[in-house]
Structure 1
Amino acid sequence: MYRLIIVDDEQIVLDGLKFLIEDTLEDIEVVATASSGREAIAVCENYNPDIVLMDIKMPGINGIEAIEAIKKRHIDTRFVIISAYEQFEYAKQAVELGVCDYILKPINPKKVTDVLNSIKNDILVERNQRLREIENKEKLKKIIPILEHAFIYSLLLNTDYRDELIKYQDLFEAKKRKGYVMVIEFGEGKHQNLHDKIGTGIIGQSIYPKVQSAIKYKCKCIVGPMIINQITVLVYENQTESEYEQRIKAFEIADSIYNSIKKLVDSNIHIGIGSCYALEKCKNSLEEAMFSLNRITDENIVHINDISQKNNSNDDYTYIDIKEDETHIIKLLEIGDKERLVNEMKTFFNKVNKKFHGDIVEVRNTILELMVMVLSCSYRNDLQEEIVGYSSYLNELNSLDSIVSIQNWCLRKVSYIVEQVQSKKDKHISRVVLNAKKYIDEHLNEDLNLIDISKEVSVSPQYFSKIFKNEIGQSFVEYVRKKRIDIAKELLKTNKYSVKEICYKIGYNDPNYFSRLFKKLVGVSPTEYR
């Protein structure tokens, strides 16, 4: 039903229009009539009409003035002017006010019904559009937290999050291109045992919506899910200030969030904050935030740059370096290169132990981060609980009381998992890839290229490249390089051949290129390897 008000200083016009509309248009209700501009303003306040038929020439406040006053309070009301006057100035003012139509006296009944039907259709379209907008907002409100969580998971699992990032910038209409990460932890901090962390996490989940709202109220951000006892937050930032000013601003936001959450949660709260980066590099800020969180002692909030100032350390092995080494280790695990994996892990242990000066808590926390990534890799490769024994890892690691025992335990576990990953891949290798591997192994001393191998196994180069990488975990080029370098290592151990002779035996024509490649993959030159 549409509400309509008629305004005219002639009673006969009011009565005639009221009768015409009620007789011919069932879905329009004439809720009131008025005989002056002042009276029209008053009845519109009371009835909030959808449509007003307004006479122009009336004593006191005229129709144009009345429309102007009414529109300030009722912006969605449609107006139709009724008048015996055809002056251009009135029509011009009416157009400027957004009047829908202009009906001249004497009134043509068909013109009235046509105009009102047209306005009804316009109103209906607008109402439906508003309804869709409301429905879309409700849907968006439900889906945004899901997308936010997916983004944070991508960030935490070290996967490519750039596509998700573009979605958020579009959804939130975010114009800022920089940001920083803060990690909020509930409980007693890094020395809290796993059981207590899970208990805190369960309590936190029950009030998570309120915590999420409190965070979003303080800043423009993406809020991740509660994972055990932590929430990861990406805060948008312009970074127009100096580093120091930006750090102070980030700390003030964190402090405000801290105070809001303390009112909701009966638990200790700690917040680690990373530096501000371009959004596509926010992974760096996440690592710094985690690093800051793990360095909290008596404080509730710590910024990464405050730690740098406090420690004034010249340690070149940063937390970002640790994450890069961990990522490299996982790549070797995926490939199934056990020998290089073990060597890389031993080097990693030495660097971590040196960095933390033998602090077993710090070393254990770092190894725990690595093992979470290792178990995630195992899961992606479909290794089951009965094979890997995921559920016992945390208890086993927490029970170890020396750095040596932690390192040995980690090496045993990772060595076993890489064997299982490789075994599972070997079982699923297709006949095409098996034939290709056999051909490559038998012709390593020759010039090998993707097109020739593809012809040998009768598939297109594009398809062969794809299935080879999917099934082996290495590209064709990477696989050939590794096989040749492995043979070179064995030949070097015999001391029977010169470096140049070995270069030619494994299919390379340039000894300098071979030496550079060998050092890149092995870590030392061929001469040093002997």
Structure 2
Amino acid sequence: MYTMLIVDDNPNDRSGITELIDWEEEFIEVVGTAINGEDGFHKAIALKPDLVLTDVSMPIQNGIEMTEMIKQELPDTQFIFMSCFDDVEYLQSAINLDVCAYVLKPIVIPELVKAVGKMRKLKEVDMKREKHEAELVALVEQSLPLLQEQFLKELFYSSAWDGNELAARMKYLKMDLECEQYCVFCVQIDNYGIHYTNESMDQRHLLIYRLQKCVQEAITNPHDSCFLASQGYDRIVGIKKYSKSDISGNLDDITECANHCMELANQRLGLHVTIGISGLSDNLNDVAEQYGRAEYAVKSKIYSSGNRIIFHSEVYEPDHQVHYNYKNMYDELRNVVMGCDEASKLKFMETYLSQEAKFTENYIKSISYTIVNILHTILVENGKRFGDIFEDDFTIWRNLSLIETFADIKQFIMNTIHSVCDCLNKYNGKRNSIVDDIKAVIDEKYAEIENVNQIVEKMFISASHANLVFKQVTGSTIFDWVTAKRMEIAKQMLLNPYVKIYEIPEKIGYKTGAHFRSVFKGYTGTTPKQYQEKYSR
């Protein structure tokens, strides 16, 4: 139902308009009448009608003047003008005042009802628009935390801000960043890529949400507020502002807040976090620069360890340039792995990854990848791969790429060396057992052996695998070993005065003397007879 005020100096017109039309059927309630413009203005202010139906020509104050005054106070009220004159001046006034309709007297009821219906439709459109705008305003209010986060990220990544634009955005988003001093901080979950990337998106979202709550609790206090934003699923960034310009006191405060934040993350969430702090500034146009400092402080944990607080002012510039020889490193690491001596492992780590040296990030990454590559080469040389130790051949490379600190990289390298040593020890133990069994068969049956299958037929391994293992351990093929065994026996027989040369080939497994003589000369450089003459007493 819409409300209407009738303003007309003619009492008959007022009563006729009020009584001759069923206004309720038109969804209209007549809430009052007025006898002139002045009376109409006061009653409109009191009643706040949706529609004012007014005569134009009235004493004391006409309808045009009254409309102008009411519109200033009640801009949403609609107006319909009535007049006995089809006057161009009146029509122009109606247009200028954005009047809903203009009706000529004497009133034709259907025309007036039609004009009121037009007003009602306009009012319905206005109400729908107002409702939609109210819903949008409510939606913006609900989205305010997200909009504030988005604005904060814009601040961190853009240094070109107009002062008026910055102030307007902050006011609209209800972010009072005006302060004497502020600092930017970054809270990053340590080794997130290793521990949490396999979690579901729900779990990862919940994790960063809980961390943000901990940061909010730790950083905010009644005197100085802060604004936070999440970046991905592994870090929280924020601005903490201070109402007083007190460098020492404010630095003490942010240190205490950061310690509290770390305690909450460690104890409540079981998380290790690194917190980077930019230092203090009094210029909001420097927010992007301060953010860069906080981020750099977090990244600098690669030179030491995580789960700590790092001020940008404390970060040292690494300058330790080391040049290493790949061949020397390979030889040293192979000796370490094959010897499996703890002291040699520690010496190797101290040589290439000393905790005391200030290595550059590039050196740390280069040397760690080189060491792991050499370990893989050593495994392959011994018939093994990383996949025999770890989940597959690629897991170790992925994990190495995700490690964030020098201390963790050192531990990772040491653990990998231990794993390779254990693998090769077990593997070499099995291989040595196979080789010992093959040698035992050769020692016993060297004169009967015609091919490798005869040697390994009771060992349940293939001839090719047996040959591979034997060659890896001894450096010789199985049949070369058989030949060497026969030749050593032949040399002993040649020095025995009771054994004839022609008897030797058959005794050691050769079917013809010519074959024996050819092999013997190839092995010793002399014929059997020359050897006997040279070495017999």
Q: TM-score, normalised on structure 2? A: 0.39
Q: Radius of gyration: which is bigger?
A: 2
